[in-house]
Structure 1
Amino acid sequence: MRKLLIWILALLILFVMAMVAAYYLAKKYEEPVRNYIVSEVNKRLDAPVHVSDINFSLLERFPSASLVMDSVWAEEDIVKIGDPDTLLFFRKVYLNLNVLDILNGQYKINEIETRDGFLRLKVDEKGFDNYRIWKESEDTTGFLLELDKVHIENGLLSYENKARDQEIKLTADDLYFAGSFSRKDYTMEVKGDGIVHELRLKGNNYLDERKVAVQSELEINAESETYAFKDGRLLIDNALDFNISGNFIGSGVDLSIVGNDLDIIRSLSLLPLESRKIFEAYSSSGILDFQCTLKGAFGRTENPRLQAEFSIENGAISKKGSKWKLSDLSGSGSVDNGERRKMTSTRLSLDVLSGKFNGDPFESQFVVSNFQQPNIDGKAKLKTNIQAVDEFLDIEFIDEGKGELWIDASINTTLVNPSESSARDFLNSKASGSIHISNAELRLKDDDRYYGIDSAHFNIVDNSLDIVNYTGRINDCELSLKGKADHFLDYFFTENGILNVNGDIKTGVIDLRALFPTEGESEGNGSIVIAFSQRATWDLNIQAESFLNGKFEALDVQGRLLMDEYKVEARNLKFGSLGGSMEGNAGVYRFAKNQFGVKADFDATALDVKALFYTFNNFDQSFIRSEHITGTASAVIHFQAFCDSTLNIDSRSVVATSELKILDGSLENFEPLISVADEIKKKPMLRLFVSTDELKKRLENIQFAQLENQITIRDGVVQIPQMDIKSSAINLNVSGTHSFDHEINYAMDFALSELVELKDRKEPYNEYVNRDETGRTRVFLTMIGTTDDFEIDVKRTNVKSTIKEDLQSEKNVVKGLLREEFTRSPSDTSSEVNQAGLPKVEIDFDPEEGLEKDSTLEQQSTEKPKKKSGFGKIIKKTETNKKKLGDGEFDDDDF
């Protein structure tokens, strides 16, 4: 125990003595060593180096003596490089020397250490660098720089060579260089690890934020600029282990790179592709062997010859977070940049790749040549599940899907711009094969509809897809389709390709509100939202069992359906509805954002009028409803208007005409007409001639054999020209206007003689009863106000003549508007439509044109008038005085 204490005491004494000696020597040599080294270093510098503080220590880097410099930074050589910048900066720099050399008066720096800083090396387009700040010197006495070790800790190093189009950026966590650097021929050992932020050669980034470890020996000959790798090893991400051998001679390279048992996905991510991030969602296992040779000149305009071979055995690739994967992968291939050693001559060949996709077998092979404008020639055979394909490839437009998928196809095409493929890349592509889908269910992103595919068979013919057979359903609407889809490849592989579909489609019941997205469904009054196909045009001959939209039902629908990004149009439509039939065209057109137009032209035959009013909810008015009217209607209808995306019609923009004919019709309990009798009852003179109670009773049910008119709509007003209603109660002439705001202005007139006869009539009046002679007195009435609040008045002047003149020109304007082309071509650059500026066209219109004269009136006029007496004299006076009045005017005493 005593001896141990003696040894400990002796060691402490020696340690103290050593510390004292070190302190003494440091004090003694600090000034001369520091001054001498700084002086000699400054003599050999071409650019200034700045140091905040310098200290000499024998202990900090023991057993070496060290000149410790704080906050060292240097300016770059600016002779040829341009404006000066900082070449380097380090928080600490240690210049290490041998203690014995210092005692012998020789100051040899044999090691440099740096901590926490950066070094920026640059070479410009003409080959001038910024880092030659050290002068050559033949003076070997006294001061010597005989480095044999460089240690960089936590240093950001960058090298940019614009002459060779190279750029390297890395962070060295712990990097050592060891060798006799002062010799012209020596071996340097390199060892260290860090992160490569960027390794860009000829515009291609090969390493991006990758962990790297390196260990190698380099045999260097400075005179011949030869660098030979001896037992080189490069480890990337602790997974990719490459052995490197060969040499650099001047600007040439002759290297061999061999990798065994590599990770498949990590190896693929070394490819020079900016989109390599796609591989981050996948993991892999198996054996990938890789062997590559680089041989030839390596300059700004020259590349070495690259030849590589690879093989895969028992490989597997899976997507993170998914149960679907590729397994049992095996295959081989090669990469060669060709005799020209350029991207245009590069060829990637996958001789064969086979395996299983989610347990289902597949095989493929392909060749990619000319990496600048890649030509792809490949084929694949696959049987799998749609859900597997969606999850594995992350297809953007599919929200969820399942079903069986078979693909056996080949393709040969050239991509002019691989980063942004376009439709023209597939115009002359050669493709063939077939696709089968069965028992599939799909839901698309931003689409509430359900798509079911019972069976589908497609043949690929170059850039077209032959739809041999497609049966399925959209929601509850069953359909079958046969036809052809042109530009299929550029639609599938590009973002701007447009699919052109032509064919025949047969459907079951089409419920429009169930088939298309709606707004406001929670309130129970959802309206259809117009959705135009942005990347497809459709031209289909359609046959549908029935078509439903609310209460409206069309049966046995036939026609031609046209759709693109500007329109949805149905042509040559034929269908049965409302007890009759309809033929014509209809379309919805897009002009600008939320600005659409509707146009329809139809011939309707034998429609049930009561059902028509009921189906269309009395056309959103309560003046005349389905319970008021019966009959069979035929019409020629022309309609156009502007609307929004939910088909809400702008009533002020409606322009329409309807050539209407109603047969065997009736007006039942139509209160506005019944109230005519009440108004006549208010007139004392008329009350003497007319049984208003009988008239009111007859007006409660007016039956007519035929009613014809041509109705027009413009500026929110329905224009009704004069029409003759020959009814069971009374013959009326009616005309007027009815606005969409439910404002009415009607004019009616009838012969006074009919009112006189009405009192004594014993049997129903009909059109075959003889009329009064020409020129008989007529009674004029008006109905003005709103449908909820109107007044009926008996007028003493012919208001009909003024209304008639207005209606004559109104029909001309409407016909002119309807003659204009309503639709727009896709090339139309106008994005807004001036609804208020519609042109006004005038043509001749006579509401009474074409009406036949009543032959019975002519017969009456030829008969000899009978002698009047008593009550008849009053009538005679009235008719005699009328000769002095204008048509439709009355004497005051008539009332």
Structure 2
Amino acid sequence: MNRIPKILKRFIAILLSLCIVLVLIAEMAEDFIAKTALNQINSDIDASIEIQDISFSLLKRFPYATIEFENILIQSKLNKDTLLGASKAYASLHTIDLINGNINTKKLELKDGFCNYIISHNNQCNLDCLLSIGGNSNSSESSSSQQLDLNKVLLNNIRFFYADSTSATQAEILIDKTEVKGKGSNNTYQAKINGNAVVSNCNYQNSNLHKLENAQVSYQISLADKDLHIENLLITSKGVNLHAKGNINLQDKLNSNINILTCNVQLDKIKQYIPKDILYNNQIQQITGTLALTGSIEGNLSDTLLPRVQANFKLSNAQLKKEGFPALQKLNCKGSIDNGAERAIESTRVICENLDFTTEKSSGSLSFDIVNLDKPSYKFDSNLSIDLEEVKSFLPDSLMKLCSGTANVHTKGKGKLNSLDELQNPDYLMNRLQGKIDLKDVKASKDSIQLDSLNLLLDYKPNQLAISLAKGTITSHNIKLKKGSLQLNLEGKLSNLKQLKASIDSIHLQTNQSLLSGNIQMENVTEPNYKLHLLSDINLQEFKHLIPDSLITNLNGSIITEIHSAGKLNPDSIDKQIVDLVCNHSQIKANCKNISIKSTNPSIQISDLSGQFKIQEDTITLHNTTASAFGINMNLDSTKIGNYYHTIVENKEQKLSIYSSLHFDQINYQTIDSLLQSFSSDTDNAETKSSRNYSYEIKGKLRGDHFTYQKAKANNISTLFNISDSIVLLDKFEFDAFKGNLNNSVRYKIISDNKQIVNFYNHTENLDIAQLMKDFNNFKEYEQEYIKSEQISGTLSSDLHGEVLLMGDSLVHDSTLLKGDFKLEDGGLFNFKPAMELSKSTNIEELDNMHFKTIESKVFVFKNAVYIPQTEIKSNAMDISAYGMQSFNDDYEYHLRVYLGEVLRGKTKRIREKQEKQENKPDGGTSGLTSLFLVSKNIDGKSHSGLDTKKGRAKMKTKIKLQQVVLDFLFHPKLIDFDTKVEENPTKHE
């Protein structure tokens, strides 16, 4: 036990002695060591180094010798730029190696240092002077000097400044509390680095990297020769958190295997780093949310061949506000990116498992899979639920001014995109896309059209489009759509329109009261060959709102139509072709029911229009058509209008042919006159605009129940007619009027613009002459004043042939020719001026009021006068034989023969018996009775009434015979052709 204190004392003495020795050695070797270290450093770098103080100790960090540097400053010899510096540096050396002359550093510590790493515009680095290590040493010395065995390197508060003028890049890194352990010899080395750093004051070209405040970096790295192992790497900055680990081979190609465990990006925080022009050009106003990334990088970082990159991304609770679009309140996205084993763009695959978003009222989702970013093979599926009212403010007014409702849109497709130009090719899209658009309760307006409660489904598959209408209302026109459908099929390519075939296999559209259906086929869209078949049942009142009230005030009725049409269209002149296609290449059948049209134009007033009509091969045909217009109820049957296109439309020198069988119930002259004047006015206006080259023939049958002219009425009217450019023919123009029946034929021929000839034939039976005069107001319209209805009575029957010449609207009396056989029965002549004057001069009172049973006479008109050959008038008072003439200028001359006995005593029994025996004298009188000859005339204003002379009688008879001979020579009624070429009772007329 006594030996332990002795040993302890000796150990302490030895230790103290050793310390003293070490202190003495260090003190004596300090200058040598400092000089040696400084020479070693100066020999290794091409720069000047300044050290304020160097101290050496063998005890401070025993068993290692310690060299302490204060205020180190390294400058470039060339331009005196400051390269490196530190306030304190400690180097712990292996003592034995140091005694043997070798510097073997075991520990290195730097405090409060800095390093400036600058690359100039000419790509020269300011630290190149520090990289020429060992240039002056021999091989053995170099070998020993490059041996490195560091137990620890401590870096505290070291600022690293980097600036590259060639790339306009800048950064400042503060390395704090970083520990490095490593050893190396020649080209082999190992190291472990643990520590923290702060990155700040960054800048890169025109980016917003300068806004980066501080990026905290924590790292655990090991290095074995040229293999860098990242055990842990944490990067945290405002808006970004990154956690990664992996390996990097530091050879030329930098082969790597890096795993990004987490990378979270706060989009609203990194928005400040995005260049403003990108945000402005993309009109991004707000962006928030979290982007999470995980993945790996495997392969060469510095090779032309990309490394293998695999990444998973997840965007959560993002919000995006972009001008022109509704704000996205919630946006989520999940997917992955992998550039494949080939590590090329061609093998890259991008998968979006789900992208969903919501706005205030809308939502949507999208998934897609893309392989090969150079020539992508893709498939996608998307669903959108769009509130139209929400997006209406983002739609141009030219597209839609008012919009509400919901649009559910589903699209999907797959294919391969060899170039972006294919997206401009409609054939590419048509063959690879399909989708549905389901419109629910849509309300929209465009110009004057307003839609409400529209429910419509559009379903597109490659080259097929189906449209289904559930309901809807065109509120602007008060049309309710009940249901509808359309099926469109395409065959061919839109890029080759000449070979494209389009077919609408079915059309169906139904409103509350109307229906449209059919099909359409089309080939060669540039100059389409088409074929269509359409059926429609249209209620006109539903579509009245399409016509301005300024044109049509009321419209009712329905039209059932069937249309077959086929032809070829030239899109550049379709407006000119459409009439030809309708007239010559279509068959249109229509059945009209109870159509009524009221217009602001009085000439367009139609009611109760019903019937069938057909358009085919330039012909319009009407059957069983009834209508009421201008107060007239009409019925048209077997009506045919032929060649109307080449004549009315094209104005060619051809004939327009019209045949009609027309019946009306009642009509008055005022209506006809108004229509004729309107027609004449329209015709005149039309003629001033263009000359008519075509001719026309309008013929047929006309029947009517009643016709009224002022007080005159005609019933049971019928006629055959034929109207052409210069001739109007009426044949068998028969009617009941004035208590009798009339059958007429008329030929009206236009000689010139102001000259017309009218030929006519009249057969009258049992016409009440007094009624005729009364109904025509005694013909005062024609300036007839010499006889009135109350002055004449009787029943008239006649056969009359005539010809009159019209100059303009005036009758040329001198050219009037007429032949007639008249028979007046049970009549009388009362207070007739010529007879009254004769009565005064002869005192024969019976001449004032004559009653007769029968008068038969042949009357003719020639040279402005009416001639009456000898006519026997037999009455119960007396018998009169008369002849004479009455001119149209009020000249007249009548010669009468009466019997004296009848004048003196009346018609006695004896006279009546003689007259019944009819024994005529040579002069025509009755034998046994004394004749009394009388004359009444007014010639050139000179009147004379009284006893007649034989000479005067002979002169008048001669004049009558002479005028009749000339008339018979000039006027041949049997040569007048009244044939209308119309069959009176045809079996069928088409």
Shorter-chain TM band: 0.3 to 0.5
Instruction: Point out the structure with the larger strand share.
Output: 2
TM-score, normalised with respect to structure 2: 0.44
TM-score (norm 1): 0.48
